A and B are shown apart, each in its own frame.
Chain A
Amino acid sequence: MAFEQGTASGVSDLFDKLSTFLVANGWTDRALTTAGTKGFARTAATDPIEVQFRWDTGTPANVGVYHSLGFVGVGTAPGSHTDDSGQGVISGTNATLATGRHVALVNSTMRYWFFEEDYYCHVCVEVNVGPPSQIVSFGMGNLVKLGTYTGGAYCYGFKRSGVASTGIMIDGSILLDGLASGTAMTPFVATLHAELLAGQTAAEEWYLVWADSTAAFQGTDRAGDDRHFVQGGFRGGLPARFFARPSAQAVAGLIPMYSIPLYYRNIVPSPTHVYPLGHMPDVFGVNIEWFNPGDEVDVGGQTYVLFPSWRNNLGGGNETRFQGMAYRKIP
C-alpha cells in the first residue's frame, strides 16, 4: 500500500527505484543477473504475479515487458521463464525490443509515479516535459475478479498510434486495452492469465487484451500454446464508450471516472459467448480536458492522480487529447 513520486535519471535508475519501492512493500526483486534486466514477483497475490523487464544497456530506451507464471532462476533472461506469455521480444537490443511489447522510455531525467496496493503496481512516467507533457505507462497486478476461475494476473506495456486521433486508433495499446486490433498489434498488447475457461485447453494459459474477433486465437505463448483474447478494457467497450466523453459539466463541474473491465470472448460458438472477468483495481478512465499530468483531485476523501493516456493536446494528430487515466493514490 504505497505511492511514490520522484525523478529518475534514466532507465536503469527508474527500475532501481521501482525495485526499492516494491521490495519495501512486500514484492520480491528476482535479482536477475542478465545485464539490463529486472524481475519482480508478488507470490502472495491471489494469482501470483511474475513479470520481467529488459532494456539495451548501450542505448537504453525501449523496455521489454514480459509476463510468466513461474520463475526459473536469476540467470534466465526475461521471456524464458516458466510458462511465459509470449509477449515481449527476447532480446537485449533496443530496436528489437521495440518490435514486441515494451514501454518506450528515455535515458534521461524522467518524473515517475508508482502506485501500489495488494496486489498491483501501476507506473506512469513522464518522458517529455513538453509542453505538452508526454506520459507512458506500464504495470502488473491482479484483476478485481468476478467468478471463480483460476487466474486474474495481468501485465501491460505501452504503445501509442503514430497517426492522427491517436486516442481511438486501433494500432495502440494503453493499460488493458480492448481497442487495440489487427494482427500487427498482436505483439504489443497486454496479457491476462486465466485457465480452463470455456473453450480453453489445460495447456492454454494466456489471453491477449484486444478488440479483434476474426480469429479464435492470437499467436502462441513461448511454449507454442494458443492464446485466447479478452476485450473491453480502457479504450474499448461499454464504460469507455459511455463515460469517456463527458468532461466537466457546466452546472456541477463534475467528471465521471469509469472502470476498466475485461470480458472473455469465445468466438468459437455462434453467437459468440462473452464472460465478465473483472476489472483493473484502482485505475479508471477519465476525461482530462481540465487537468495537467500529475494533477491530484480529492473525491470523498480519496485522492486520485490524473494523467493523459499519452499527451493532452488538441492541435493536429498524434495526440490522445482528453483521454485520461485516474489512479487511486494510497499514501
Chain B
Amino acid sequence: MAWQKILTVNTTQSFYRDLLAQIVQHATSKHIATISAISAPGTGYVVGDVLGYTHASALHPADFVVTAVGGGGSITGLRIRSGGSFGRRVATVAVNAGGTGYAVGNIVEINEGHVAGTDFRQRCKIRINTLSGSAAATISIWEGGGNYQDGTDPAASAATTTKIGPAAGTGSGLTVNTTMQAITGTSGLALTGGTGTGAQINVTLADTGWVTLRDDHNYTTPHGETDEKQVVLRGTVLGGDEPLIGYVSWFEESGVTDYWGLLEVVMDVYNDGLALEAQLGANPSSDVVSPNGGSYIPSLDEAEESWLSTDGRKIAGVHKTVGTTVTAYHSHYLGLFDPFGTAIEAPYPMVMFGSVSGSRTWHAGATSPADVTGITEAFRNTNRTTSMFYRRVDDGTYLGINNAEGTAFPMTITNVRNVFPIGAPQQGSGSEMDVISGEGNFAWSSTIASTTGVSPTVLLLPAPGSNAHHLLPVVVELRNSKVAPIEFGPAGRFFNFHWCGGTKTDLTTIGSEDTFTDPNDPSIVYRAFPCGVRTETYSFYALQEGV
C-alpha cells in the first residue's frame, strides 16, 4: 500500500493529462514500504519535521515525518508519509534511425523490454520533437522513461518503436539508442529537510502493484479534442482475479465553459484490439465522455494537488481543485474493495467511484455544486445517474449505488443500495423481514451528516479526553431484488476510506486536509477531507497517510 501526494504540472502537456500520467507513474513504480533501520539518526531534528528523499530513478520523491527524537535531536522515530515512485527507467534516448511518416508531437513507445512470462511495468514512451522531412530528427522521453524493473532493458542500440493511439499518424521505422537509470539503493539513504542534518535510513521497496496494458496517446474524443489519453492497468491480487481498470482523459468546451477530467473504466477481460467500451464486462458509460453518465474525476487546467492511496487492488485518492468560487476535494476509487466474503464467495468485487457522474456536471465556476459528491456521501442529483457502481457477483451487472437522490437536502434514507454510515436500508415498513431494529434518536443521515451547511441536530465529537475523530468504515450495502423476499447485505468496504466526524474537541470545525493521530498508535495519522464542494461542516472522510 502506497500513499503519495502529487502536484500536476503542464511542462509537457495539459494539467489534467499530467494527472493521469502521474497516477500511472506512481501505480507502476516501486515505493518505500518500510524503514528497516535509522542508520544515522542525525542531529538537530524536532518532532514533526518533514524529511525528503529523492533519486534520479524517482518520479515522485518520498517523504517522512519525524515522530520521536532523542538527545541532541537525533531521530528515534520516523514514519513514512509518501512512499515515492522509484523504478529502473530509460534515462536517455537518441535517434538511431528516423523512420518515415512522422509528425511533430507523435508519441511512440519502445517495443523491447518485455520478457515472455514476466512483465514490464510501463514501457518508455518517446515524443517526436522535430523532423527531418518526415523522419524523426530529435526526440525526448515522454512521461518518465517507463519502468523495467521486472523485465529486461530495451536495447541500448536501435531499439524498435511503435506509435501509440489511433490518431498517432502513419509513421514507422523509428529506432532509438537508450541508456538506463538504475533504481535507488535501499541502504544509507540520506534525508533532506527539517531542522537537523545527517539522518540516513535503510528501507525496503515494494511494488505498488500495477502494470500498464494500454498506455496510449493520440486519441480524439467524440467532441473533436485530440491528443487525449487512454490507459488500461492490471493490478495484483494474491489468489484472486487481478483487477482491470482504465482511465480516459477528456476535455470539452461547452459554450463559454470548459470541462476537464478523467473518466473511469472497469472491465472483466482486456483485449488489446478492442476499444474500451467493447471490452468484456466494461461498465456502463465507458463508451463515451458523456454529459450525464459514468464516474469522473473532474479537474481544472491548472496546477492541482492530489493524494493517492494505491495498492494492487485499487487506485484511490483525493483530487483537489481550486476554482474561482469553490475549492473542491474529489474522492475517487477504482478497483476491488474489501468484499464481504472470500474470493470464491465474492469474486471480482469491482467498484468504481468518481465525484461526478457526467463530463459536464461540474466546473470551477459552478454555481450549483449539487452534482459533486463524495465517497461517504454518495449523493446523486435527480437528473443524473449515480457516480458509484458495484459489480454484482452473480451476473456481473454493474449496479448504481447512492445514498440519496433529488435536489432536496438533507439526504433522506431510501431503499436503494446504500453506503454506510450515511445511508441505511429501509426498515420498519412492517413486513416480517423489516422489523429488526430502529434508529432510536440517532441517525447519521438526518442528524449528524448534514450536507448543506444547515444546522445539524447533533455534533459528533471525539471521544472524551481524545482529539481523535470518530472513524467508521465506508461500507456498501446491496439490495438484491432478484430474490424474494428482497435481500439486503453488505457487499464490502472501501479500503482506507473512513467516515469522519467534523467537529473537534474544542468545538471548532475540522479543516479540510487537517491531520489527526490515532490515540492508540501515534504512528498512524489520518488526513480529513470534505465531500465534494458541499459546505459539509459536520461530516468528513479521512484516509490514513502512508497507506
A168 within 8 A of B: yes
Q: Which residues of B contact A232 (CB under 8 A)?
A: 440, 442
Range, interface on chain B: 35 or more
A256 within 8 A of B: yes
- B438 touching A235, Cβ below 8 Å: yes
- A231 touching B441, Cβ below 8 Å: yes
- B436 touching A323, Cβ below 8 Å: yes
- B437 touching A241, Cβ below 8 Å: yes
**CB nearest to A253 among chain B residues:** B345
B351 within 8 A of A: no
- A237 touching B461, Cβ below 8 Å: no
Q: Which residues of A contact B442 (CB under 8 A)?
A: 178, 211, 231-232, 236-238, 263, 265, 274
Q: Secondary structure at chain A's binding surface: helix, strand, loop or mixed?
A: loop
Distance of A197 Cα from B505 Cα, bound (Å): 12
> What's the least CB distance linking B167 to chain A, in Å?
43
Binds B, one of A9-17, A56-64, A146-154: A146-154
> What's the least CB distance linking A207 to chain B, in Å?
12
- A252 touching B341, Cβ below 8 Å: yes
Q: Given A148-B464, A256-B340, A275-B461, check contact A241 B488 (CB 8 Å).
A: no
Distance of A323 Cα from B438 Cα, bound (Å): 11
- B489 touching A181, Cβ below 8 Å: no
Q: Given A246-B489, A251-B393, A273-B461, check contact A212 B441 (CB 8 Å).
A: yes
Partner of B465, one of A149, A250, A314: A149
Distance of A322 Cα from B440 Cα, bound (Å): 18
Tell me the count of chain A residues lying within 8 A, CB to CB, of chain B: 57
- B436 touching A252, Cβ below 8 Å: no
Q: Given A198-B464, A251-B346, A274-B459, check contact A242 B340 (CB 8 Å).
A: no
Q: Given A245-B427, A274-B458, check contact A254 B436 (CB 8 Å).
A: no
B514 within 8 A of A: no
- B394 touching A251, Cβ below 8 Å: yes
> What's the least CB distance linking A193 to chain B, in Å?
13
Distance of A287 Cα from B435 Cα, bound (Å): 11
> What's the least CB distance linking A234 to chain B, in Å?
8
Q: Which residues of B contact A273 (CB under 8 A)?
A: 458-459, 461, 507
A99 within 8 A of B: no
Binds A, one of B140-148, B329-337, B469-477: B469-477
Q: Given A149-B464, A231-B442, check contact A252 B459 (CB 8 Å).
A: no
Q: Given A148-B465, A198-B464, A212-B441, check contact A244 B436 (CB 8 Å).
A: yes
Q: Which residues of A contact B421 (CB under 8 A)?
A: 238, 242
B463 within 8 A of A: yes
> What's the least CB distance linking B483 to chain A, in Å?
5
Q: Given A236-B438, A249-B489, check contact A241 B466 (CB 8 Å).
A: no
**CB nearest to B520 among chain A residues:** A146
Q: Which residues of A contact B425 (CB under 8 A)?
A: 242, 245-246
- A271 touching B394, Cβ below 8 Å: no
> What's the least CB distance linking A30 to chain B, in Å?
30
Per the 8 Å Cβ criterion, residues 213-253 of A in contact with B are: 213, 231-233, 235-238, 240-247, 249-253
A121 within 8 A of B: no
Per the 8 Å Cβ criterion, residues 419-449 of B in contact with A are: 420-421, 423-425, 427-428, 430, 432-444, 448
- A246 touching B488, Cβ below 8 Å: yes
**CB nearest to A315 among chain B residues:** B432
B315 within 8 A of A: no
Identify the B interface with A (CB < 8 A).
340-342, 345-346, 393-394, 418, 420-421, 423-425, 427-428, 430, 432-444, 448, 455-466, 470, 472, 475, 477, 480, 483, 487-490, 507, 519
**8 nearest A-B pairs in the assembled complex, by CB-CB distance:** A236-B440, A147-B463, A148-B465, A211-B440, A146-B463, A252-B345, A240-B437, A149-B464
Identify the A interface with B (CB < 8 A).
145-149, 165, 167-168, 170, 178-179, 181, 197-198, 211-213, 231-233, 235-238, 240-247, 249-256, 263-265, 271-278, 285, 287, 314, 321-323
